[in-house]
Structure 1
Amino acid sequence: MRRLTALLLAGSLPFAAIAQDPASEATRTAQAEIAGRLPLNDPRDEANAMRGKLAEIPGGVIQTADGKIVWDRRPYAFLSQAEAPDTVNPSLWRQARLNAVHGLFEVVPDKIWQLRGYDLSVMTIIRGKTGWIVVDPLLSEETAAAGWKLFADTVEAKSGKRPIKAVIFSHSHSDHFGGVGGIVTPEQVKAQKIRIIAPHGFSEEATSENVLAGTAMGRRALYMFGSILTPGPTGQVDTGLGPKLSSGTIGYMEPTESVGEKGGTLTIDGLAFDFLDAGGTEAPSEFVFYIPAYKALHTTEVVTHNLHNILTLRGAQVRDALRWSKVIDAMLLKWGGTAEVALASHHWPTWGAGEVSALLANQRDAYRYVHDRTLFLANRGATLHELADQTAEAPVQGRDFSTRGYYGTLNHDMKATYQRYFGWWDGNPANFNPLPPEQSAPKYVALAGGADKLLAAGKAAVAAGEYRWAAELLNKLVFAEPTNKDARMALASAYDQMGYQAESGAWRNYYLAAAASLRGTAVESLSGNGQSRSFISAIPTAVFFDALAARFDAAKGSAAKGAFQFVLPDSKETVAIVVGGGVEVPRYGVTDPAPTATITMNRATLDDVMLGQAQFPALIQSGAIKIDGDRMAFLSWFALHPPADPRFNVVEP
């Protein structure tokens, strides 16, 4: 990968390492084992990742107008080293180096281009009859704008400026639509009649995801994506799905039209697109499409160059591995042997009709293997943890890197499939209602003969390379004695080695972030994405009030009773909230006959509150919020909705 090495060296900066354990002998042995059985020097992926490169953003640095850096590849210059360090799984190292290639790439000559390496996801630009069709404009407005500028400076500078005629949102995850405001404005969409096309159900899924459980999902995402780690050979190297998350502004625009669940053909700027519904696979709302004129298949996030998550570590609703495999098989039946290039919303394309068909068949088999092996073993009595541990990787995973567990893994995907069918419980009554960790941990310590003996046993397990067992033991001690520094450091050592050995970027990040939290070296001040007004305003009012109800403190509000009527004049909406019995029930579109209090406020004012630009007391005082009826009852009720701490502990009590 000499050519790739030279590319990554350009504009490099020195790397500052986090002080932590080196790779142990057991870890070095594990790394050598996987390196010995995989064809890591197979050049095909590197050739595809480099193919058609036209230009790049110097240093991969993208900033906001006021100078805040939202994307910076310079700290990842360590990836220029071809040989994997012993602190990184060599298969993950290979994937990280491929994901690190950034720039503008020509996919189909003078017809299709991609911007890769400037966000977790990929933006695709397609030439129509009179203008451009943009697919998946990244997560952040700033990265999308920078990518579009690179395209305009490189392609339009030679072929002439053309308007954007359509934007396609392939599915309902924000890293595929959040940057739309960086390439078009709402005013342009309206004035120029730009089509915004999405799969059915997009609006609700895109704006509702993470709202109800956003605090916990966001916290876990910091671990999963390694956002609280410093980049480096002992820190964050990649996510598997892409380099990392950008940290700019997430926006939103409402689709002007949607593709129904039966798919079908649309002509977009004179170009025919054939759509196939893929909702319920990687996202609740998703499609894939084929462009016959260019013989190009866009596989969205259904087929990428890794095994995906059936249940993401940050949390989500469990996905359907069986449907996933069937959708891929439908793609193979419909376009296999015809499509000459497959490109997706992540990673690099695959060229050649035979290669595209093989990619689809192998990916189909991987998801089918996850599903069928789970049920095969579950129906023979294997439980959630047992079935994953006794399953060897799928045969296809040994010969096709695109099916390897760089993001999802066979292990946790099988557990997720088990959960989909059977729930969280393994059927053993001892595990039906166990003591919570804070209560059971001291009892385990006492059973071990005290903290010193348990610590010694944990350290012995670390020394023997039994890191999973060491983590199980030492986690008990940390939960029993969270201030025990020796226990924390020993547990962190176990997590280090498990992180180093992980082939999944998500697993590596989670283990190493856990170790950093225990050591107190996590980069907790790192800022994340900000949601724009366009995104906040698009969240359905009913979803917002459901989220408010989920914040109701039932312990303190068990005696609270009443009905609170919200009237939003600007959006012409009403919501009645009935409170009693320790719960509150929002009734969207309902007017209560005898409310305790009526609160009149614009939905735009509610958006100000959600954006943190206004506070309820000041709004009440200014008259922006009008309260009729029992004002004190409303204020007392509203006080029963404390915000959750977004930095709650994950790896300690």
Structure 2
Amino acid sequence: MPSHNQVSRLLVGIVVGALLPLGSHAQAPNPATDATKKNNATVLEELPFQKKQDFKDIERGFIAPLPDNGVIKNEKGQPVWDLGAYGFAQGKEAPDSVNPSLWRQLQLLSEGGLYEVTPRIFQVRSADLSNITFIEGDNGIIVMDPLISAETARASLDLYREHRGDKPVVAVIYTHSHIDHYGGVRGVVDEKDVKAGKVKIIAPEGFLEEAVSENVFAGNAMSRRASYMYGNLLPKGPQGTLGTGLGLGTSTGTATIIEPTDTITEDGQKLEVDGLTFEFILAPGSEAPAEMHFYIPELKAVTAAENATHTLHNLYTLRGAKVRNARAWSGYLNDTIQRWGDEVEVLYAPHHWPTWGNENIVDHLKKQRDLYKYLNDQTLRMANHGYNMVETAEMMELPPELADYWANRGYYGSVNHDTRAVWNYYLGFFDGNPARLYPLPPAEAGAKYVEYMGGADNLLQQAEKDYEAGNYRWVAQVLDNLVSSQPDNKAARNLLADALEQLGYQQENGPWRNFFLSGAKELREGVKEFAVPVTASPDTIRSMPIEMFFDFLAIRLNGPRAAGKHIAINVSLPDVEGNYSLILENGVLNYGPPVDKPDTTVTINRSDLNDVIMGTATMQDKIKDGTARVSGDGKQLDTLFSLLDTFEFWWNLVTPNPPQKN
């Protein structure tokens, strides 16, 4: 199996290295300013820190800690997860450089190990971004959401078996299509057992298409932004990353996938698995495009997947993804209450800690339901009054009965960017003001702003005054124009970095903090390579339907260079009995059934094509060894491959990227 980097270099064209050689020495973070100290001190006065129930709940059912001080390694002995690195918060008051509410959440999340949720349901928490859940059937165990990496999932299963016995895995449930809920599946089951019918893989309708397409079609852009969102580029500590509020961080082990054997397609659908009844409802378009809730009546246990955790979630995730439907999300939680609210006794999730007791559970589900409904309805109310997206987000405030509930705080999603998500979901990118319909790009607009403001020196002098006054939002906004027009202006970069850093220190939201601090780091040090999760893993490639692969080829096609060319290639895949054509015309690559007179015909098994896709072989290698045959004008195949772009990974996020050369 190729390495993650081999796969990603071919599939999404990751090119590593520093793009802005501004020096190799990292600058020590600045301390919190007086303005930041005042901001964070205010949080202590405004929120109900005297309520300690979450700290009791996080300890309930504790059985054993993660072994090796929370360090999980791969086969080469390299750490892919380190829970102990987050232990700096335990037993300490929030420092000046941290929003006390986010510090509280970190203290809760950095408790990890094996826990009993209720008899027959156990979780390993804080062994990855998400939780892995073990549900004991009559003869084996059902695994729910096996983390990001095979290594962390295997370590969690080993910890469970150490204390509960060596029970076989009889089923795996993917609650939804995000990688932290399926990526470690090969750490808990062998695909041979799945194919032999010994293990079920259960997932909601649309799971495979959504899991693969999200991580491939826009995967390069998402992964680069995710390196900011999850704090992969930052040191862990009071002046660095504090996790994400949803979880501590992302493991960097082997991401895998095994295709589902059983698909949930209807609300109310039931499956009997190892003596337990699972009743499902579908929740598409909520936290994930493919998601589901389920209830186990024998255990009076319900999970709402990632739709009712201990944070306000994302209606739009800052790494980039499809905007989510707040109205539908609220409706799925209401349906969960209506179906099972009278009898449920425990609510558990693939993030955070459970909620026990019928009254507490129903209250929690109602508050989460109304959280998303309020954001949906009030955003539309203000939009219908004529307020644009930014204005609406600035005015939005939750009522106290929602805002003062700890599980509704904006640790992962935020009221501000979720409001903008709702506005965008219904009304799109344009706010109706024609002055904003056709803006100049940042570098060009930045140059004009700087000119109008009296030049870079004057702009910097004014920005320094606002920085000293604590007006960090404005300093960041105005210096973005200067840095966009003059990316090599070191004084501008440094002051922008300083402003972003203070904004980061003030955030209750984990991803906002990570974005601000990552931006500051990149401005000071340039773009550098760090260990980040690779979502386009070999399993993901193998699981791509061939049509989806052809769609991805079309995304990689350089349209300007393809203009004026016409190429017709037939592709035969004997092992999967697939026959297609690829037609290049009008600067676009389409696929369809074979054509009568192709320029070229390629015959290759899908399994061998996977080697080409994953970078372990070239098409020329396959032709030479006879596993691929080409008839007709082979030069046309070479021409098509020459028109496919590769995508650099470590592109700039806080300064303009150079113009594309076709």
TM-score normalized by structure 2?
Answer: 0.93
2:488 aligns to what SS in structure 1?
A: coil
Task: Tell me how far 1:284 sits from its aligned partner.
Answer: 1.6
Matches within 5 A, 1:300-339: 300-339=305-344
Distance 1:576 1:473 in 2: 51
1:319 aligns to what SS in structure 2?
A: coil
Q: Which residue of 1 aligns with 2:639?
A: 636
Matches within 5 A, 1:366-385: 366-385=371-390
1:627 aligns to what SS in structure 2?
A: strand
2:135 aligns to what SS in structure 1?
A: strand
Identity of aligned residues (%): 43
Q: Which residue of 1 aligns with 2:106?
A: 96
1:115 aligns to what SS in structure 2?
A: strand
Distance 2:177 2:269 in 1: 19
Distance 1:63 1:494 in 2: 37
2:589 aligns to what SS in structure 1?
A: strand
Task: Tell me how far 1:261 sits from its aligned partner.
Answer: 2.6
1:87 aligns to what SS in structure 2?
A: coil
Distance 2:27 2:367 in 1: 38
Q: Which residue of 1 aligns with 2:563?
A: 558
Q: Which residue of 2 aligns with 1:142?
A: 151
Task: Tell me how far 1:128 sits from its aligned partner.
Answer: 1.0
1:65 aligns to what SS in structure 2?
A: coil
Q: Which residue of 2 aligns with 1:168?
A: 173
Task: Tell me how far 1:81 sits from its aligned partner.
Answer: 4.3
Matches within 5 A, 1:104-143: 104-109=114-119, 111-143=120-152
* 1:433 paired residue among 438, 442, 445: 438
Q: Which deviates the most, 606-615 or 66-75?
A: 606-615
Q: Which amino acid aligns with 1:108?
A: T
Higher relative contact order (CA 8 A, sep 6+): 2
- 1:205 to 1:530, Cα distance in 2 relative to 1, 3 A: closer
Q: Which residue of 2 aligns with 1:610?
A: 613
Q: Which deviates the most, 139-148 or 204-213?
A: 204-213
Residue 136 of structure 1 contacts residue 168 of structure 1 at CA under 8 Å; is this kept in 2? Answer: yes
> Aligned-residue CA RMSD in angstroms?
1.6
Q: Which deviates the most, 266-275 or 404-413?
A: 266-275
Q: Which residue of 2 aligns with 1:8?
A: none
Q: Which amino acid aligns with 2:273?
A: I
Distance 2:579 2:108 in 1: 51
* 2:48 paired residue among 23, 35, 39: 39
Q: Which residue of 1 aligns with 2:96?
A: 86
Distance 2:106 2:552 in 1: 37
Distance 2:381 2:293 in 1: 30
Distance 1:163 1:18 in 2: 51
Q: Which amino acid aligns with 1:24?
A: T
Task: Tell me how far 1:527 sits from its aligned partner.
Answer: 4.3
Q: Which residue of 2 aligns with 1:195?
A: 200
Distance 1:470 1:214 in 2: 32
Deviations 1:259-313 (A, max 9, x none): 1232322221111122111122111211111111111111211111111111100
* 1:645 paired residue among 648, 654, 660: 648
Deviations 1:293-340 (A, max 9, x none): 111111211111111111100111111000001111111122224211
Residue 226 of structure 1 contacts residue 509 of structure 1 at CA under 8 Å; is this kept in 2? Answer: yes
* 1:594 paired residue among 593, 597, 612: 597
Q: Which residue of 1 aligns with 2:191?
A: 186
Q: Which residue of 2 aligns with 1:579?
A: 584
Residue 27 of structure 2 contacts residue 524 of structure 2 at CA under 8 Å; is this kept in 1? Answer: no
Task: Tell me how far 1:522 sits from its aligned partner.
Answer: 6.3
Residue 365 of structure 1 contacts residue 396 of structure 1 at CA under 8 Å; is this kept in 2? Answer: no
Q: Which deviates the most, 54-63 or 139-148?
A: 54-63
Distance 2:177 2:118 in 1: 26
Residue 560 of structure 1 contacts residue 637 of structure 1 at CA under 8 Å; is this kept in 2? Answer: no
Q: Which residue of 1 aligns with 2:5?
A: none
TM-score normalized by structure 1?
Answer: 0.94
Distance 2:627 2:532 in 1: 31
Q: Which residue of 2 aligns with 1:4?
A: none
Task: Tell me how far 1:532 sits from its aligned partner.
Answer: 4.7
Task: Tell me how far 1:616 sits from its aligned partner.
Answer: 3.4
Residue 257 (structure 2) pairs with residue 252 (structure 1): yes
Task: Tell me how far 1:398 sits from its aligned partner.
Answer: 2.9
Distance 2:375 2:34 in 1: 32
Deviations 1:23-80 (A, max 9, x none): 1111111101111111124211111111111112231110111112110123222122
- 1:528 to 1:29, Cα distance in 2 relative to 1, 3 A: same
* 2:548 paired residue among 543, 546, 569: 543
2:644 aligns to what SS in structure 1?
A: coil
Q: Which amino acid aligns with 2:57?
A: N
Task: Tell me how far 1:431 sits from its aligned partner.
Answer: 0.6
Residue 87 of structure 2 contacts residue 110 of structure 2 at CA under 8 Å; is this kept in 1? Answer: no
Residue 314 of structure 2 contacts residue 418 of structure 2 at CA under 8 Å; is this kept in 1? Answer: yes
Residue 405 (structure 2) pairs with residue 400 (structure 1): yes
Matches within 5 A, 1:215-226: 215-226=220-231
1:556 aligns to what SS in structure 2?
A: helix
2:336 aligns to what SS in structure 1?
A: helix
- 1:78 to 1:17, Cα distance in 2 relative to 1, 3 A: farther
Distance 1:374 1:482 in 2: 36
Residue 215 of structure 2 contacts residue 536 of structure 2 at CA under 8 Å; is this kept in 1? Answer: no
* 1:23 paired residue among 32, 45, 58: 32
Task: Tell me how far 1:414 sits from its aligned partner.
Answer: 0.9
* 1:56 paired residue among 52, 65, 76: 65
Residue 405 of structure 1 contacts residue 503 of structure 1 at CA under 8 Å; is this kept in 2? Answer: yes
Matches within 5 A, 1:224-373: 224-373=229-378
Distance 2:651 2:405 in 1: 39
* 1:151 paired residue among 124, 135, 160: 160
Residue 116 of structure 1 contacts residue 123 of structure 1 at CA under 8 Å; is this kept in 2? Answer: yes
* 2:519 paired residue among 514, 519, 523: 514
5+ residue gaps in structure 1?
1-15
Distance 1:203 1:374 in 2: 32
Q: Which residue of 1 aligns with 2:421?
A: 416
Distance 1:278 1:484 in 2: 49
Residue 229 of structure 1 contacts residue 523 of structure 1 at CA under 8 Å; is this kept in 2? Answer: no
When the two structures are aligned, how many residues end up with a matched partner?
631
Distance 1:394 1:649 in 2: 39
Task: Tell me how far 1:210 sits from its aligned partner.
Answer: 2.4
Q: Which amino acid aligns with 2:406?
A: F
